[in-house]
């Protein structure tokens, strides 16, 4: 599973390594696995984080691909997309093998004003082992 890692030291650790928008590790060690290398997110929380990162990166193909067929929009536009500022996962509730919920707060800015999106999202896993976003309830 783990790739051999070159030894790191403080002089090279931050060079050219973009932090992942979801707040975790370097992008390459975090959501890039799912967005760029085709790995399947092992948990609903990992999928939730990768979808947040996809929103930040305007990756419509990934978002549609990880959306349940019955609730998926026909297309996604980013024309009026907010500027995303950060993600905080509050809770991950595994209901059963195929159902999970993730509560999170995403902060964003529109027209110079900061807002919070506090949502509990529902996810389901289909027979092919893939988690997908179904829908969510907003708090507030």
Query: Which stretches of the chain bind Zn ion, using CB under 5 A?
Result: 20, 22, 24, 30-31, 49, 53
Q: How far apart are CA 120 and CA 55, in angstroms?
A: 17
**CB of 19 or CB of 98, closer to Zn ion:** 19
Smallest separation (angstroms) from Zn ion to the CB of 15: 19
**CB of 26 or CB of 117, closer to Zn ion:** 26
Smallest separation (angstroms) from Zn ion to the CB of 98: 23
Alpha-carbon torsion (62, 66, 70, 73), positive or negative: negative
Smallest separation (angstroms) from Zn ion to the CB of 113: 26
Q: How far apart are CA 138 and CA 105, in angstroms?
A: 10
Q: How far apart are CA 140 and CA 137, in angstroms?
A: 10
């Amino acid at each position: 599973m783990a790739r051999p890692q070159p030894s790191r030291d403080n002089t090279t650790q931050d060079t050219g390594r973009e932090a992942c928008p979801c707040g975790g590790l370097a992008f390459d060690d975090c959501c890039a696995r799912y967005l760029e290398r085709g790995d399947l997110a092992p948990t609903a929380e990992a999928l939730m984080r990768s979808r947040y990162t996809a929103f930040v990166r305007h990756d419509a193909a990934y978002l549609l691909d990880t959306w349940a067929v019955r609730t998926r929009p026909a297309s996604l536009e980013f024309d009026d997309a907010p500027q995303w500022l950060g993600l905080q996962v509050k809770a991950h509730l595994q209901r059963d093998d195929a159902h999970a919920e993730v509560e999170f707060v995403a902060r964003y800015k529109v027209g110079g004003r900061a807002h919070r999106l506090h949502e509990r999202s529902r996810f389901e896993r289909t027979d092919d082992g893939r988690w997908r976003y179904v829908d969510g309830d907003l708090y507030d």
